[in-house]
Amino acid sequence: MKRLFSIGLGLLWLSGAAAMAQETPTLVSTEAQNRKILIEEFTGIGCGNCPRAHRTSNGIVAAYPEQAFVINIHQGYYAKGQTPDLTTAYGDALYEQSGAEDFGWPAGTINRHVFEGDVMYVIDTKWATTAPKVLDMPSYVNVGAKASIDWATRKLTVDVEIYYTAKPEATTNYINVALLQDFIPGPQSGMAANPAQIMDGQYSHMHALRDFLTGQWGEEITDLAAGKLITRKFEADLPESIKDVALKLEDLSVLVYITESHTEVMNACHAEMTHIGAPSPYVVWMLNAEQLPYLACDAMGKAQLRIANKLCEKEITSLQLEAVSALGTQEIELTTDNFRDGVNVAFELMLPISMNLRDKVTFRLTKVNGEAYTGTEHNEVETTMVRWGGYTASVPVTLDIVQDQFGNEITWTLKKDNDTLQTGGPYRELNNPGTRSNKVVLDTAKVPGCYVLTVYDQNHDGIHKDKGDGYIELKDAAGEVFVQMDGVYTDSVQICFAVTGVANENATAAAYDLSIQPNPVSAVDAELYLTATQAETLSVAVYSLSGVRMGETRHYTVEAGAQRLTLPTAQLSAGLYIVIVNGEDGR
């Protein structure tokens, strides 16, 4: 018998039961499994500490893919009366059952299991250590599901398979089918604590419960027995919006879980989603970009891009991007084997960047699986990237920290290969805003190699311009500045510099009037133009910024006057390189 119901928020759903309807399951495993993690997170737009909890639950889901799931249930004081209105008819009852009323928000349950005391409530600061315990809990039931959305009719169909690997002591279980929505833009108190969900100045509300297709506590299952397969089909006509919040089809997902009575989530799964008649084969969003720490003496930067697969008609295995910066446009390819529909993934990548320049880098999605990407919504993100550093062949190096008023907050360390070679600071606190130079010879940085100078600020505000317009400089043995950092940082800044070890420390600067064309150069040999002051033999070598010589040193016999020499650059990877020209007399 088929039953048609109208439930609270305007979804129509159709449920049909067919125990043992098929002999061989196609969606669910018949092997005994442990439980999966389900976090029911009680939250609200007005809750200032909730983004902290969102970040924690997202981290658990990322750490245990397909083994951990989260539902964000907007309810209570911090959710009611907010715009957008993400509350449901179910949130308050779930909150009251959890025992969280005495604790407030953010709050949550993990598999509706009692871990401590006599309540299901678990404080968010304990989720990361508590949730993995679920994965060691055996389960007598497995669940699998698939779903589809017909874009022409807005009909959602969910097929569920449940298989009992053992007979439970409980006489009844309940199927729960939750409709969730991601990427709902809106405000959020305290959102700075979770920058990964900030897009275009708004918070992206994720995993938001929009409705249950099975009502408050699920649909009952009886006659439970080992080896029993149970199937269910649920169909819903999706409205255009719920509580004036658009129900965007590409942002919907379905979570299915099995409970004992109203508690103890025994297992859970995401329903694999198929989109029928979607306007585009792929909907991929570039969510955000940030620079990651990278300590090396080269002109490379490390970035993290968070990208969401909102919809795909087939598995996405590769993404092609353009990175546009002061260096021009670079092509980047990202590959993945776990970028399914409905997930967002943090990709890490390396790219050449300008040294000692705060450069805005724009990442733009151009291809998906080798096909041109035509989407125009959220198809690019940008971030500012900077690498402080340089190279010198003239040692010793002198460090000059031009402090602000509060030199007593500044300290520094010099390391090579993670070994601390030299330290300094703190310095004097001045009576009034102003600057003071603090010079020290880095006499431990003479051996060729890569050195990392880290300058710290105890007050986490760098060399504060309002208290003195200071900066940080590195000078070579001749007093020439080869790195200048503007002093704008928070708790610390790293400066990576290379000692190449290819010049006489007492050598004077040669008047060769060097230039390289073209510069930058790609895939061809460059030309080195110089003016020799006498007939001599020149040695020319190309080095990376870490001091590694690229290929063999070339020798050229030249006459006095203008010269054009070929530089072997065609086979070099993208990056910045040093060209060292030595004359016969060591210049």
AA letter at 49: N
Cβ-based burial of 294 (10 A; exposed 0-12, middle 13-18, buried ≥19): middle
CB-based burial of residue 390 (10 Å sphere; 0-12 exposed, 13-18 middle, 19+ buried)?
Answer: buried
**Is residue 261 within 8 Å of residue 170, measured between CB atoms?**
yes
DSSP string for residues in 524-541: S-EEEEEEESSSEEEEEE
Q: How many whole angstroms separate alpha carbon 227 and alpha carbon 230?
A: 10
Alpha carbon 3 to chain centroid, angstroms = 45
Phi, psi of 96 (to 5 degrees): -65, -40
In the prediction, which pLDDT does 585 show? 53
Rounded Cα distance, 216 and 367, in Å: 43
H or E element: which one contains 62? Answer: helix 50-63
Q: State the Cα–Cα distance between residues 492 and 361, nearest whole angstrom.
A: 22
Neighbours of 296 (CB within 10 A): 17
Residue 325, token pair as written in the block: 């910066």
Strand partners, 121: 109
Residue 257 backbone phi and psi in degrees, to 5: -150, 155
Q: Is the pTM of this model over 0.85?
A: no
Report the phi/psi class of residue 328: left, alpha or beta, with left for phi > 0 and alpha for psi in -120 to 50: left
Q: What are phi and psi of 373, to 5 degrees?
A: -95, 125
Torsion sign, CA atoms 224, 226, 228, 230: positive
Beta strand spans in 20-128 (E) = 37-43, 68-74, 107-110
Tokens, residue 252: 């919907």
Say how far apart CA 162 and CA 29 lie, in whole Å. 9
Residue 241 neighbours by CB distance under 10 Å: 13
pLDDT at position 510: 41
CA distances from 515 to 273, 390, 548, 583, 584 (A): 58, 19, 22, 16, 20
Local structure of 133: helix, strand or coil: helix
User: Which residues pair with residue 232 across a beta bridge?
Assistant: 17, 160
Query: CB–CB of 260/173 below 8 Å?
Result: yes
At 55, which helix (H) or strand (E)?
A: helix 50-63
Helices (H), 197-345: none
**Residue 246 bridge partners (DSSP):** 241
- Edge-to-edge strand list for the sheet holding 577-582: 554-558, 536-544, 577-582
554 strand-pairing partners: 540
CA atoms within 13 A of residue 258's CA, in its CB half-sphere: 27
> Which uninterrupted H or E stretch holds 54?
helix 50-63
Pick from 3, 444, 396: nearest CA to 233:
3
Q: Return averaged pLDDT per consecutive 10 residues of the chain, 587 residues in all.
A: 32 44 80 97 96 96 94 96 97 92 87 94 95 97 96 97 95 96 96 91 96 96 94 96 96 96 95 91 92 86 92 88 90 85 85 88 95 91 93 92 96 95 96 95 92 95 85 95 93 92 40 72 80 82 67 84 84 74 62
State whether residue 21 is helix, strand or coil: coil
3-state secondary structure 230-267: EEEEEEEECCCEECCEECCHHHEEEEEEEEECCEEEEE
Instruction: Give the bridge partners for 398, in sequence order.
Output: 441, 475
458: left (phi over 0), alpha (psi -120 to 50) or beta: alpha
* CA distances to 65, 143, 157, 249, 379 from 146, in Å: 17, 11, 8, 16, 28
What confidence score (pLDDT) does residue 584 get?
Answer: 63
pLDDT, position 501: 60
**List of residues 6+ apart from 81 with CB closer than 8 A:** none
How far apart CA 202 and CA 130 sit, in angstroms, is: 31
Q: Is the peptide bond before 426 cis (omega within 30 degrees of 0)?
A: yes
Q: Determine how many CB atoms are found less than 10 A away from the CB of residue 285.
A: 24
* DSSP state letters, 110-174: ETT---BTTB-B--GGGHHHHGGGGGGSB-SEEEEEEEEEETTTTEEEEEEEEEESS--SSS-EE
CB neighbours of residue 550 within 10 Å: 16
Q: Which long-range contacts (CB under 8 A, 24 or more apart) does 518-523 make?
A: 520/327, 520/328, 521/569, 522/574, 523/570
For strands 37-43 and 68-74, give the pairing.
parallel
DSSP-assigned beta bridge partners for residue 351: 301
